[in-house]
Structures are given as structure tokens and as C-alpha cells.
Amino acid sequence: MIYVHVPFCKSFCIYCGFYSELCNKDNAFASYCEGVCREIEARREEILAAASPRTLYFGGGTPSVLPLKYLRRIVEALPGGYEEFTVEANPDDITPEYSSALAGMGVNRISLGVQSFDDGILRWMNRRHDAAQAVRAIEIIREAGIENISIDLIFGFPLLTDEIWNDTLRKALALRPQHISAYQLSVEEGSALDELARSGAFAQAGEEQCLSQYDTLCRLLSEAGYRHYEVSNFAIPGYEAVHNGAYWARAPYVGLGPGAHSFDGRLTRSWNTQALTGWHREQETLTMHDEAVEKVMLALRAADGMPESDLLANANPEAVSALLQKGALKKNRDGRLRIAENHFFVSDDIIYLLISTR
């Protein structure tokens, strides 16, 4: 499982806290590409060892800002033969030529940063596209032969009325993407929204609004045949994200590029420093307690949950029993324990209760 971080954007969205740099200069792209290719060569054995599942994911930043010649060079330096090959893209970067080139490189999944189908909301978010461009981008991607399309949506902020949210969901479902990721807006440190919040110019939406919009999301997508397989993720059955699913299962992965994180599948996490040139790796070793917390936290985000014996070994058994009686935890048909879907919205609170009293 390989992740490549592309730390370039043409502009910054109001909510984004991921590492990225404003850039449109070829020398910066070339230098970045050289750095990633050197890292691939230096970590080739590690890359080959983390080959299950065989997935490749370009995230950012905005990977669709990176010129194709550099994207192609990085892809050619990697082993190849991927079950799932995802590239994140902005709708305004999608053209027939670009989509066809991605398909020719073996890309079989696009994660499209739609966020909203309301032009006023998109302007407030400082997105570069409008709703019409998002719709057309999906059409273009499909015409290029890439059938697996995921779109991102954001809910839970004061400007988003229930009427706009319902309209956004109806428009999304009319396009029938294979996958939908929907996230409640959060104030990320270092983002423009963080500055507005600190100055008093922005206040987060109340819990009642966020819960109502999340419930609407779950209901409408369920009625449309989507499987709610993780707290924030929905898929037409068979199109669940393989790459992200492996994260939640704590599979080993290799992160390449500045700011990218890696995990050996056991107790060692590492990350690259955030610099366009000369980045290096730092690492930490998880304690046994850290490992137990992580196992519970990641597994219970997913609808498949975790084996009862594993949960009891890594969490407070009394809390497990109490949550089962309350209906916040439930047993799947295979005996695994999961958070009930009607409690997904408060999953963080449930997980905290399980692990804080261990």
C-alpha cells in the first residue's frame, strides 16, 4: 500500500490544514519529482514489503496540479500492478486529455473534491470550481473509461442550511458516483478558518444542526442503495475504498513525499518532514497502550467492527457490556462488535469511553 503526497495547490481552501504550498512553477514540480523518485529508490525494499493490498494513492494538496509528465515519471518508478490506483483531483483541473492520460497510466479511481453543489458555498470555501464544473468533471472522467468515482462533500457549518444540504445530496445522488465521503467541517490548526475562528469571525455550527444533517446524509444514501461502511464513507456495494480500508485495518503502508506518513503494521510510525526539498524521515515507536487504543479507534470507525475477543482484550470489558446493553454497540452476524449506525455520529465519545477506562 503506497501513498504519495503532492504538496501543491493553486489556492488554499478556507478549511484546509494539510501540508501544501502555492505553486505553479515547473522547476519546483521537477525538484519535487526528483525527490520522490530518489525516495522510491531508497525505500524500494520497504515498498515491496508493504505490497498487500496493492494500492497506490496520490493525495494532497492537489495532485491534479502536478503536470502529467512528473506524475507519469513517479508512477513509472514504482512497482505497478495495482488493484486500486486513486488520484485526488479538483473538478476544474479535469479535461478529456487529462482524464485519458490518467486512464492510460492505470488510474482506475478518481477522488473528486466536489464539497458542495451550491456556488455560494463553494465561493465561501474558496474553491476554484463551480457546481456545473463538478458535474461536467464526472462526465469527462467516465467518458475516459474511469468508472470508479468518489466525491467529497462537507456538512455541518452555519452557512449550510438544511435546504442547501438536501439539494446537494439530491444532485450528488443523481450523478450516481460509486463512492461518497462526507465530512463534518472542522477548524484545522493553521487554516484560514482557524484564523477566522480565533478572531471571532466564524463560529462552528451547533450539535443539533450537525446531527440533523448527518442523519439526512445517512438516510438518503441508504435509500439510494449506498452501504455506510465507515463513519464518513458510503459506497455502492463492491466499491468500498480498498486503500482507506487498509488504513483502518492497520495494514503496513509507505508514504512518499514531503509530509507523508508511513506505518510498519506493528509499532513504528514515521513521517517525512514538510519541506519541498531535502525532506527527511522522523519516527516514533508506539507503546502497547498506544497500540490498543489505535486498534479500537480505527476498527470501530468501520461497519465491520472488530472481533469481540479483540475488543475485550483492548478496551474496558465493563464499558463494552454497558454499551451493548444500551444499544450503542451491536453484534454483526459474524459475531464481530461494531458501533450501531445510529450512534456513528457520537463514535468518538463511544471510543473514548471504551479506551479511557481501560
For position 358, what pLDDT does the model report? 61
Quote the CA–CA distance of 300 and 337 in Å, as a whole number.
Answer: 8
Nearest to 23 by CA among 66, 52, 69, 80: 66
Q: Decide: 281 and 254 in contact? Cβ < 8 Å.
A: no
Angle at 214 between CA 236 and CA 226, to 5 degrees: 10
Q: Does the pLDDT at position 24 exceed 80?
A: no
pLDDT above 80 for 75? yes
Write out pLDDT tens, residues 142-166.
999 999 999 999 999 999 999 999 9
pTM metric for this prediction:
0.94
Q: pLDDT category, 20, cuts 50, 70, 90?
A: confident
Please give the pLDDT value at position 137. 98
Write down the pLDDT at residue 1: 94
Q: What CATH number labels 2-247?
A: 3.20.20.70
Max mean pLDDT among 41-50, 130-139, 329-338 falls in 130-139
Pick from 74-78, 119-123, 223-227, 276-280: least confident: 276-280
- Render pLDDT for 300-316 as a digit per residue (tens, 0 to 9): 999 999 999 999 999 99
pLDDT confidence of residue 333? 83
What does the pLDDT read at residue 324? 95
- Kind of pairing between the strands at 84-89 and 55-60: parallel
pLDDT of amino acid 303? 94
Residue 12: band (very low, low, confident or very high) from pLDDT cuts 50, 70, 90: confident
Q: What is the mean pLDDT of the chain?
A: 95
Ramachandran assignment for 315, one of left (phi > 0), alpha (psi -120 to 50 degrees), beta (any other):
beta
Can you list the positions of beta strands (E) in 120-226? 148-155, 179-184
Residue located via cell numbers 506518513: 261
Q: Is the pLDDT of residue 52 over 70?
A: yes
pLDDT digits 0-9 by tens, 90-116: 999 999 999 999 999 999 999 999 999
Decide if 36 contacts 279 (C-beta within 8 A): no
21, pLDDT greater than 90: no
Q: In percent, how much of the chain has pLDDT > 90?
A: 88
Q: Where are the domains positioned within the chain?
A: 2-247, 287-358
Q: What pLDDT shows up at residue 190?
A: 86
Q: How far is the CA of 72 from the CAs of 66, 174, 258, 302, in angstroms? A: 10, 33, 18, 33
Q: Cell 510510525 identifies what position?
A: 269
Beta-carbon contacts of 162 under 8 Å, excluding residues fewer than 6 positions away, are 209, 212, 213, 216
Round the CA-based radius of gyration of the chain to a whole number and report it: 20
User: What's the confidence (pLDDT) of residue 357?
Assistant: 66
| Distance (Å, whole) CA 153 – CA 184 | 9
- Does residue 127 have a pLDDT over 70? yes
Per-residue pLDDT tens over the stretch 232-243: 999 999 999 999
Query: Regarding beta strands 227-230 and 233-235, do their DSSP bridges make them parallel or antiparallel, or are they unpaired?
Result: antiparallel
